[in-house]
């Protein structure tokens, strides 16, 4: 829907700007009118579109599963229950396969992550211009900016990964104790009996293990963010073709179809990877190495 008066760059930029509400140094608490204003708001700003869609999807997921859980019985399951149980069974198998400890949190955590990430990714399959158009200037006039795929917002992926990271730290310390955890960070992989060598190995180990530890949440969040951002970017680039004549339009339509079908695999895979890695990281946090 790139109108004749805006350029491709503006079109892409518009699509990549969140609906931001925050404290602007000049305008005070208000919605940002463009990307620059959003940046100037600094930390004290909130992406309303991201919050709306992610919370909406999470509420949808919670309500859906809560309803199924309320009606769950050991009798013959209905369709809803069958579907929900299929997912639960899948998650439970994944947890049982990767997580050796005993923790009542891990499986529900994995289920939440899988379903939530999947639903957020699923928003990517809605044509990129549909919702912004309906809610924007030409439609309901609600919002100037609208990014409907929450997992393309690094805030979302970093928040999830950070939550997992906190759990990793919590369970590492809970299971191994502070001493055990510090020992794990400093006593590996280089070990020595000579006292004068100890400080060197400790520092090197701390650097290596620290990177190892920090890489977990960063890789977790960047992998999801990167995949979804790139996927969305390609959808946006494809939709640029619609403004370049009907030949390009048909070609773009075909491309969009192909990319969307391929993307079904990507969004499922990304949700699965996020869940599996969370389980694995928590399993490592529970494991005694020595």
Partner 1 sequence: MNINLTLIAQLLSFAVFVWFTMKFVWPPLVKAMDERKAKIADGLAAAERGQHEQVLAQERATEYLHEAKQQAAEIKARAERQAAQLVEEAKEKAQAEGARQLAAAQAEIEQATNKAREELRARVAELAVAGAEKILRREIDAEAHKDIVEAVARQI
Active site residues: 219, 223, 227
Beta strands in the chain (DSSP E): 20-24, 28-31, 45-47
Span from 1-9, 51-59, 193-201, 268-276 in contact with partner 1 (CB under 8 A) = 51-59
Span from 46-54, 181-189, 230-238, 243-251 in contact with partner 1 (CB under 8 A) = 46-54
- Name which position in 80, 107, 125, 233 contacts partner 1 (CB under 8 A): 107
Sequence-ordered list of residues with C-beta below 8 angstroms from that of 263, at least 6 positions apart, any chain: 124, 125, 231
Interface residues for partner 1 in 218-257 (CB under 8 A)?
none
- Name which position in 27, 30, 52, 77 contacts partner 1 (CB under 8 A): 77
Tell whether residue 170 is a contact of partner 1 (CB under 8 A): no
Number of residues counted as binding partner 1 (CB under 8 A): 53
Q: What CA–CA distance (Å, rounded) separates 269 from 278?
A: 14
Q: Which C-beta is closer to partner 1: that of 70 or that of 100?
A: 70
- Name which position in 1, 12, 51, 218 contacts partner 1 (CB under 8 A): 51
Give the Cα-Cα-Cα angle 277, 278, 279 (nearest 5 degrees): 90
- Name which position in 62, 201, 202, 243 contacts partner 1 (CB under 8 A): 62
Q: Which C-beta is closer to partner 1: that of 53 or that of 181?
A: 53
Q: What CA–CA distance (Å, rounded) separates 193 from 2?
A: 68
Of 129, 167, 168, 137, the C-alpha closest to 253 is 129
Q: Which C-beta is closer to partner 1: that of 117 or that of 284?
A: 117
Residue 288, CB half-sphere, CA atoms under 13 Å: how many? Answer: 7
Sequence-ordered list of residues with C-beta below 8 angstroms from that of 217, at least 6 positions apart, any chain: 158, 161, 162, 164, 165, 168
Taking a C-beta distance cutoff of 8 angstroms, is the pair 193, 201 a contact?
no
Tell whether residue 153 is a contact of partner 1 (CB under 8 A): yes
- Name which position in 26, 70, 79, 247 contacts partner 1 (CB under 8 A): 70
**Six-digit token string for 78:** 């209905």
Tell whether residue 46 is a contact of partner 1 (CB under 8 A): yes
- The residues pairing with 21 across neighbouring beta strands, listed in sequence order, are 31, 46
Q: Which C-beta is closer to partner 1: that of 51 or that of 260?
A: 51
Q: What CA–CA distance (Å, rounded) separates 241 from 234?
A: 11
Whether residue 189 is preceded by a cis peptide bond, meaning omega within 30 degrees of 0, is yes
Span from 16-24, 173-181, 205-213, 249-257 in contact with partner 1 (CB under 8 A) = 16-24
Instruction: Note the residues at the interface with partner 1 (CB under 8 A).
Output: 16, 18, 20, 22, 38-39, 41-47, 50-51, 54-55, 58, 61-62, 65-66, 68-70, 72-75, 77, 81, 84-85, 88-89, 92, 104-105, 107-109, 111-112, 116, 153-156, 158-160, 162-163
């Amino acid at each position: 829907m790139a109108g004749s008066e805006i350029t491709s760059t503006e079109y892409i930029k518009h699509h990549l700007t969140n609906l931001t509400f925050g404290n602007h140094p000049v305008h005070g608490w208000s919605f940002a009118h463009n990307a620059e204003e959003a940046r100037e708001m600094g930390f004290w700003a909130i992406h309303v579109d991201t919050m709306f869609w992610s919370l909406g999807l999470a509420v949808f997921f919670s309500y859906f599963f809560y309803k199924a859980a309320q009606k769950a019985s050991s009798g013959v399951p209905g369709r809803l229950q069958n579907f929900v149980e299929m997912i639960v069974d899948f998650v439970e198998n994944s947890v049982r396969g990767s997580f050796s400890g005993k923790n009542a949190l891990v499986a529900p955590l994995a289920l939440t992550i899988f379903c939530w990430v999947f639903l957020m990714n699923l928003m990517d399959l809605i044509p990129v211009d549909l919702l912004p158009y309906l809610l924007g200037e030409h439609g309901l006039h609600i919002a100037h900016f609208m990014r409907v795929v929450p997992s393309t917002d690094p805030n979302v992926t970093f928040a999830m990964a950070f939550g997992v990271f906190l759990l990793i730290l919590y369970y590492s310390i809970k299971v191994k104790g502070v001493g055990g955890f510090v020992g794990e960070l400093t006593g590996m992989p280089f070990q020595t009996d000579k006292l004068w060598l100890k400080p060197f190995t400790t520092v090197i180990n701390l650097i290596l293990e620290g990177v190892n530890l920090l890489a977990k949440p960063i890789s977790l969040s960047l992998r999801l963010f990167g995949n979804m951002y790139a996927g969305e970017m390609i959808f946006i680039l494809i939709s640029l073709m619609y403004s370049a004549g009907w030949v390009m339009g048909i070609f773009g339509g075909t491309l969009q179809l192909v990319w969307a079908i391929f993307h079904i695999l990507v969004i499922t895979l990304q949700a699965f990877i996020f869940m599996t890695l969370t389980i694995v990281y928590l399993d490592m946090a529970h494991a005694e190495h020595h």
